[in-house]
Structure 1
Amino acid sequence: VYEIIRNELTNFEDSGISLLETSHRTPKYMNLNTEVQNVVRRLLDVPANYKILFIAGGGLGAWSAKAAKEAKKYGKVNLVIPPTDTHVDVPRHIYIMGRVLQWIEQKGGLDAMEQLADKKASLVYNTIEQSAGFYYAPVAKRVRSKMNIPFRIGNPGNDALEKEFLKVTVEEVQALTKYMTEFYKKHSK
């Protein structure tokens, strides 16, 4: 995903320019927006009678302008933003989300992502549990996360060893768990 974004950063879909230089009203951007909506619809099984809305913070200031106009009836209004016609940023987050969602779809969708998270998490949790207390998971098993696995070295924790320890594909997690086991064997005596 990073490589696709890096390559398209200066030449979005062979247009010769970056998406960041493109208006959010151009056909290229509108096609991207529709494409991302379609991926969201497929991945999340969103029915056709529902709309997909991408709502970014900030917007163009249309509602702020209406509020300022109304407020002028009651007193002086100090506007500290440029006029709305200068807001031409492309919603980059939709582009990046689209590329990530396409990658998820290519990798088998949400079920495949869940299986991958399960596999990685079980590798780490099993290594923690097999360390005879050298590694300690402070979270109860019934509420453990698959994505964020907090653990300590030692029980309740050894700051010096934890600072020494610190580094994710399945292969990287396997390397991590192998390292954790070796680290445990070296320092647990």
Structure 2
Amino acid sequence: MTVTTKRAFNFNAGPSALPLEVLQKAQAELVDFKGTGMSVMELSHRSAEFEGVHNEAIANLRELYDIPENYEVLFLQGGASLQFSMIPMNFLKEGQKASYIQTGAWSEKAFAEAKLFGTPVEAASSKSNNYKNIPALSEIQIDEEAAYLHLTSNNTIFGTQWKTFPTTGDLPLIADMSSDILSKKIDVSNFAMIYAGAQKNLGPSGVTVVIIRKEFLEKANSNIPTMLKYATHSKNNSLYNTPPTFGIYMLGEVLKWVKAEGGLEAIEQRNEEKAKYIYDVIDNSNGFYYGHATEDSRSLMNITFRVADEELEKKFLAEAKTAGFVGLNGHRSVGGCRASTYNAVPLETCKALADFMVKFQQDNQ
């Protein structure tokens, strides 16, 4: 007998929606993974069965992103927040500066952590505009003597996203892609390093993906704790210690799902269509709804907006919750509303929100 469960309209910013097909497969395999008589959570990370899961996930990520052979793919722990520390610890040498582009709360946190290890400098910032936009490429001050240039590709709190990345030549470019990784095609070879927490587009929380150029890795500092060296994890295929095995299994299943959906071209097209439903309602509301981000910097992953009247905004969020919409409250630091439309959020869910927004406006003008 098939039991159907009512699914929420899930717009959580992270941990976020996972593909239903992936959840159902994990449910079916939870107790007995491929005839082992054990859950994947019970497998030894040194076993052939888990190594197959692990290596297949790496191979599929390489295929989807067309990752060149001179890049390592690592599965780490500690979230993107630990990367804020690991990056300067590994790559910021004494007396060196590192360049950071400030576009929101997470880039600010990365900047603050770098201060503990060296001298970070702002290469560009949109803070004076309350992070409503991504700085123009012409505004970025490229310091070729810097250890690296760091940016955050998508800003979950403010709803902005890079459309075109800077060209940095020999200066290593590092990107925190936690909230838009695998949402569109990119040229990995433009980056010395990409990192992302899994809990938005890649899987459940607990896994951090790092894609790092081998030549850049070779420049890392060596006199740092073993677990905080990228080289430790590179040399051991991310199996130096016990990894988050279930998270890697789920990440691998999400990658298979992306391939089955048509790959990144199909995913990107769908993400554009999903976001358009909601942005069109905002743009056609005659100011009843208004967005935070400037139009040229709008995110396809996090749609941030307000209702013109504060009391109506409270009513909107309350009625949306009653109607089954989850996660529409803006981040606690800025308030307002936010719809996170990550890869696994269905098109129908975004259409349902757009329809709800139209009806709410009709009922409350």
- The whole-number CA distance in structure 2 between the counterparts of 1:44 and 1:169 is 22
Q: Say whether residues 1:38 and 2:59 are aligned partners.
A: yes
| Shift, 1:115, TM fit | 0.9
- The whole-number CA distance in structure 1 between the counterparts of 2:271 and 2:30 is 29
Residue in 2 that maps onto 1:73: none
Q: Aligned partner of 1:108: which letter?
A: G
Q: Say whether residues 1:120 and 2:274 are aligned partners.
A: yes
Q: Aligned partner of 1:154: which letter?
A: A
| Shift, 1:170, TM fit | 1.1
Residue in 1 that maps onto 2:264: 110
Q: Relative contact order, CA 8 A, sep 6+: which one is greater?
A: 2
- The whole-number CA distance in structure 2 between the counterparts of 1:52 and 1:94 is 13
Q: 1:149 aligns with which of 281, 286, 303?
A: 303
Contact 2:33 2:39 in 1 (8 A): yes
- For the pair shown, the structure with the greater C-alpha radius of gyration is 1
The count of residues paired between Structure 1 and Structure 2 equals 163
- The whole-number CA distance in structure 1 between the counterparts of 2:36 and 2:50 is 11
Contact 1:136 1:155 in 2 (8 A): no
| Shift, 1:150, TM fit | 1.2
Q: Aligned partner of 1:140: which letter?
A: T
Q: Say whether residues 1:179 and 2:200 are aligned partners.
A: no
Q: Say whether residues 1:136 and 2:290 are aligned partners.
A: yes
Name structure 1 gaps, 5 residues minimum.
65-86
Q: TM-score, normalised by structure 2?
A: 0.41
Residue in 1 that maps onto 2:163: none
| Shift, 1:10, TM fit | 1.1
User: Alpha carbons of 1:126 and 1:159: their partners in 2 closer, same or farther (altered >3 Å)?
Assistant: closer
Contact 1:127 1:180 in 2 (8 A): yes
RMSD: 2.3
User: Alpha carbons of 1:136 and 1:184: their partners in 2 closer, same or farther (altered >3 Å)?
Assistant: same
Name structure 2 gaps, 5 residues minimum.
1-21, 83-224, 228-240, 326-344
SS at match of 1:136: strand
SS at match of 2:74: coil
- The whole-number CA distance in structure 1 between the counterparts of 2:307 and 2:244 is 45
Shift >6 Å, 4+ stretches: none
